Structure 1
Amino acid sequence: MMTVKQVSELTGVSIRTLRYYDEIGLLPPASHSEGGYRLYDDTALERLQQILLFRELEFPLKDIVRIVSSPDFDRKKALEQQIELLELKKQHLENLISFARGIKLLGVRAVNFSAFDTSKLDEYAKRAKEQWGNTPEYKELKEKESKRTPEEEQQLIERFMSLFAEFGELKSGSPESSEAQAMVKKLQSFITEHLYTCTDKILAGLGKMYAGGGEISENIDKVGGKGTADFAAAAIEVYCGK
């Protein structure tokens, strides 16, 4: 048997939370000591594991109480479902990370594109520089930027946006076409030459960002026509999936 203090130290769940779980019928102790203190056995700890997994999946407490208290509750089946949900959550988080990396790597520069010049992106760029200013890609970006004059910088911006105009000319076709794939390669080479080393992994993240909606997608569509952002993203997905 373990006391509530020992369970708290073992699991990281606060004593206050354990007491609350008891009060709402979610995790009653196995028994009480002569002094009235809560005592937990292995069965209670296994139930706590289930609770914590459900909490990790953001289930409301009232739903967890209903699930684990049901006479039909199957611990093995629940665990299999939790694993599946956690895998989905993992995939979702990986997609978010990839998306965020794309914003991190290109979003820092996006505020210098006249088509992307909004206060929202300005604020984002400020935060991004504070958080990710020490990444190798950002350092490479700043080094290359320092070698360009303001006039050259503006020309580079125009050239970069013109790539999406070229994507727009291809969007009536298939993103798997040789022309679309060559266009993706051209984009990747341009970023690597003028901004930072653009690996396939980074490029995949950028593709998600292009089709992610908001100002970036809208402004890509402005230069290439409606649907250009989605087409470019689809072509990048094909390219990076090879």
Structure 2
Amino acid sequence: MDYTVKQLADLADVTPRTLHYYDEIGLLRPSSIGENGYRYYNDTAALRLQQILFYRELDLSLDEIGAILASAGFDVEAALHQHRQALQQRISRLNHLIDTIDNTIQHLRGEKEMSTQELFQGFDDETQARYEQEAAELYGAETVRESSRRWKSYTAEDKARIMAEGGQTYRDLAHMLDRDPADADVQAAMGRWHQHIRAFYEPTPDILRGLGHAYEEQPEFAAFYEAIHPDMPGFLRRAIDRYVDML
């Protein structure tokens, strides 16, 4: 069966522009061009598009995908088995992350105690290394080292108290989402949030503001706070901006 650009785009849930671009770069050529100038794709092309989308799901670049598909030893069935294994591993990791999110929400609500190690269950070594690198680039390597030193210096009781205080602050803020970020109670809570951050390191105003924007813009942070309430990330960013403006 042959498909027009729009038909194949609809089936694959991509835009027609995506298919045009894949044609331009030689990644997915039309199977034929009709007398009317329309591009048509057959079942073989549809299968190739499926492979492209699987590899995109695994975060490969288009150049990398093109090289794989063009290799002499490429085997569709073998590739499908590899995709299945990779996706199973990703599903397992995401399930761990979902459990961590659920447990952390319970922790913030005061319904569950969590150790610091448990806060990071589900994050693989590569992801944690990326976070550490991003933190070093954003806050400076010395700040990251200081945070690690401070945390290691605390007793188990200190750590439990710090996490409980932080959880209470987020619970307080979650009950103020209908207020203006400049509200006195909101800003008092932001002061407690600031003190919570200081338990880890001494943040500059720029770092505080950067945290607020990260809460809203970075997918991992945003997903965490959206699980508490969909409006939480944006509210935190606005409240932090206001707090920093008043420092």
- Please give the TM-score of this superposition, normalised by the length of structure 1: 0.49
Q: Which protein has the larger Cα radius of gyration, Structure 1 or Structure 2? A: 1
Q: Which structure's relative contact order is higher, taking Cα pairs within 8 Å and 6+ residues apart?
A: 1
- Please give the TM-score of this superposition, normalised by the length of structure 2: 0.48
